Chains A and B, each alone.
Chain A
C-alpha cells in the first residue's frame, strides 16, 4: 500500500482557542466548495524530513474540514534514492556531473510508480524533484497538477535542472518557499511557506518545570543569558561561526551558548563537523554542545523556550523553520539574511538580520542591552508566525490554490 494512514485526529476547535474562531470559520468557508472533490499529495517519504512532518499534521486538519485528501508515498530502491540525493545536492548548487544512467534510473522509478499509484484525484500536488516525472501519468480529462518545490533552486546545477524543467513545465502551477528560489517557467509560480504546528510537541506550551528540568539535565544555568542555535551539525549552519560570534559577545556579557542538534552518529559529515565544533569550543564550560536524538521535539521546545536569544547563523538555508519555531515562542531571533529567513525576519520588526560573525555578535549585544526591544521583536515575531507560518495558514493556501486552479479551467 502506498497510502499513508493518518491515525491522529486534531480537533479544529483546538486551533480556534489559539487563533480565534473567525480564522477557523474562514477555513470552513474556503473548504465548502471543495467538499466531495478529491485531492492527493505525493512525496517520497512517510517519515522524517520537513515535508512528511507537515503532511502528517495537514491531513487530519483537511479531514476535520470534511475534505477528501489522501497522501501517497512513492517507492524506490537504493539506486533511485542515491541518484535523487545527488540531484538534491546539485539543485542546491553543489558540483555534480550526472551520468546519463542517473536519468534512466530516475525515470524508470517514476514509471514504476506511475503504474502503481492512483493519479486520478481532481487536485494533484507533487512534492519535490523525486516524483516530478509522475506528470507523465496525467489523465487526458485534465485534472489539476501542481509541483511544490521545497528546495532552493536559486543556483541549480544546469544539467539536472534542464532535465527536470521539461517535466515541471507541464504542471499547471508550481510553488516555492521564497521568491529567490523560483525559476523562469511558463507556468504560474506561487509563494508557499512551510509551516509549523502550534499544537505539536515541538511548539505547544510547556509546563515551566519541564523547561527547568531540561536545563538542569544539560547543566545550563537558568540565571544567566542563554544564546541558542538549534540545527544539525552541518557546515552550512555555521556552528563554528556561532561560537566565534558568542566569543565576541562574551567579552561584554556573562552569557552561555547552546548548540543543539540531531545526533551525528550515522552521518559521517555531521560527525566531522561536530568534531570541528568541539575543537573550536575547546572545552569552554559555558558552551554547551548537545547531541540530541534524531526526534526530540520536547527537548527542542524546552531549549527554545529557555533561551534569551535564538540564533540561526546559516550560510545557506532552505526556509529555516527553526526561526518560526523560536518566533512562535516569542523569542528574539538574530539570523542570517539567507534563503527563506528574511521572509520570517523582517529586519528590526520581527527580529534582526546579520551578514557576518561580527554582525551577528553586534545584534546579539544590542538585544542583550535592550531587553525591551528584544521583547517587542519577540511579540511581533509571534504575530508574524500566527499570520503567515502556521499549519492552518498552509491549509488555507492549499484551499485557495485548489479554488484558483479549478477556476482557471
Chain B
C-alpha cells in the first residue's frame, strides 16, 4: 500500500455570518451590491450557502438566484444566476465578474423589471471563518478513508468545496492529495467529478468512500 511522504491533515471550519450594511430591493440594486460588496460577501452567498443548504439537491444554487426566484419573481434572471457553478472559479473576483455580468445584461434587456421592487429585500452578509485542525492525519488510503468517514459536514465542505479557492486549482483538497501524495491520479479525477449541486454532502461523501473502496479492491 502507498504511503504518502506528506500526510493529509484534516481540518474543520466554522463560520460566523456577519451582517453587512448593504441590501437590495430590486435587480438594479442587487447589481450595485454585487459590485460593491466584499469578497467575503460573495463567498458567503455562493460557496458558503452551498454548505448550509447542501441538502437541497433540486433547484438551489446560490442566495442570489434564490432571491431572484422567490422574492423578485424573475425566473429568467434566477435561472441565469443559478447556472453559475462555483467549481468553475478559482477566485472570488472572477465569480463576482460573472455574477455582475448576468445581472447587468438582465437589467439592460429588461429595464422595467430592473427597477421592480421585490417582495423581500436581499441582505448582503459575509462569512468570518475559523479553521482548526481536527487532530487527525492520514498517510495511507485506508487512514484517509477512515478520516473522511468521520468528518463533520463542515469539515467535508472545507476540504471538498471551499478548497478550490485556497488551492487556486480546479480541484479539491482530497483529489489534490490523492494525486500528489499517493499518486492515484485516476481516483483523484473521479472524486473531483462528483457533482456538488446534485448531491448532498452526505451523498457526496458516500460516493468518495465508494470510489476509495473500489480503488482498494483493485490495489
Shortest distance between the CB of A242 and any CB in chain B (Å): 21
Residues of B within 8 A of A179 (CB): 19-20, 23, 123, 125
Interface mask (A390-409 → B, CB under 8 Å = 1, otherwise 0): 00000011011101100100
Across the interface, do B55 and A387 meet the contact criterion of CB distance under 8 Å? yes
Q: Which residues of B, 59-102, contact A by the 8 Å Cβ criterion?
A: 59-60, 66, 69-71
Which stretch from A41-49, A185-193, A264-272 is at the chain B interface? A185-193
A281, B55: Cα distance in complex, Å: 40
Residues of B within 8 A of A403 (CB): 14, 130, 132
- Which of A21, A353, A380, A387 interacts with B52 by CB under 8 Å? A387
Asked if B108 lies at the interface with its beta carbon under 8 angstroms from chain A, I say no
Which stretch from A70-78, A103-111, A343-351 is at the chain B interface? A343-351
Across the interface, do A400 and B150 meet the contact criterion of CB distance under 8 Å? no
A395, B103: Cα distance in complex, Å: 38
Given A180-B121, A189-B19, A342-B120, residue A22 in contact with residue B53 (CB < 8 A): no
B-side interface residues, number (CB < 8 Å) = 39
Across the interface, do B70 and A190 meet the contact criterion of CB distance under 8 Å? no
Given A21-B150, A337-B120, A403-B130, residue A26 in contact with residue B155 (CB < 8 A): yes
Across the interface, do B119 and A399 meet the contact criterion of CB distance under 8 Å? no
A176, B19: Cα distance in complex, Å: 9
A337, B52: Cα distance in complex, Å: 20
Across the interface, do B55 and A399 meet the contact criterion of CB distance under 8 Å? no
Across the interface, do A30 and B132 meet the contact criterion of CB distance under 8 Å? yes
Asked if A330 lies at the interface with its beta carbon under 8 angstroms from chain B, I say no
Can you spell out 23 A-B residue pairs with CB atoms less than 8 angstroms apart? A20-B152, A26-B134, A26-B152, A26-B154, A29-B12, A179-B23, A182-B19, A184-B21, A190-B16, A191-B16, A191-B19, A191-B125, A337-B119, A342-B120, A348-B69, A349-B53, A355-B119, A380-B56, A384-B55, A399-B14, A400-B16, A403-B132, A404-B16
Nearest 7 A/B pairs, CB to CB: A179-B123, A383-B55, A347-B70, A26-B152, A191-B17, A22-B152, A400-B14
